[in-house]
Amino acid sequence: MEKIKSIAKRLLKPDEKLPQIINKSRIFNTYVSLIEIALIVFWAIVPGRTNQQKHILQFVANSCINIAAVMYVHVNYRIKYFSRAIMISIASLIWIFILMFRTI
């Protein structure tokens, strides 16, 4: 647990060696990932009780895709990685809207 806290603390604080825009992106992506992990827990607990396994797996997959998209930026700090990460995030948002409309 201590190791997880130290990793989270390191990801949520700016690094002096990196440019300011990269620091802001890193911190924003960490918060997005933490929110997506909370959503995965929500999908596993609340709708998991209602026997909707297909929807749960699709929503969890969407959260995993979104986490991968925001962390893809940190593979290398170049513009092409930023644009690919944004495209993956937009695709994830479109997919979640489609899933929500199919669920209704």
**Rounded mean pLDDT, 78-93:** 80
Q: With 80 as the cut, is the pLDDT of residue 87 above it?
A: yes
Distance CA 74, CA 40 (A): 22
Q: Compute, in degrees rounded to 10, the torsion defined by CA atoms 12, 16, 17, 23.
A: 40
Q: What is the pLDDT of residues 40-80, one digit of tens each?
A: 888 888 776 777 777 788 888 888 888 888 887 777 767 77
Distance CA 82, CA 59 (A): 24
Distance CA 79, CA 82 (A): 5
Q: With 70 as the cut, is the pLDDT of residue 39 above it?
A: yes
Distance CA 85, CA 9 (A): 24
Q: What would the two tokens of residue 38 be?
A: 């909370």
Task: Please tell me the pTM assigned to this model.
Answer: 0.70
Alpha helices per DSSP H over 2-78 = 2-12, 20-45, 53-72
38 vs 48, more confident: 38
Give the length of the chain.
Answer: 104
- φ/ψ of 77, rounded to 5, equals -85, 70
pLDDT attached to residue 48? 67
The C-alpha angle with vertex 2 and arms to 77 and 27, in degrees rounded to 5, equals 25
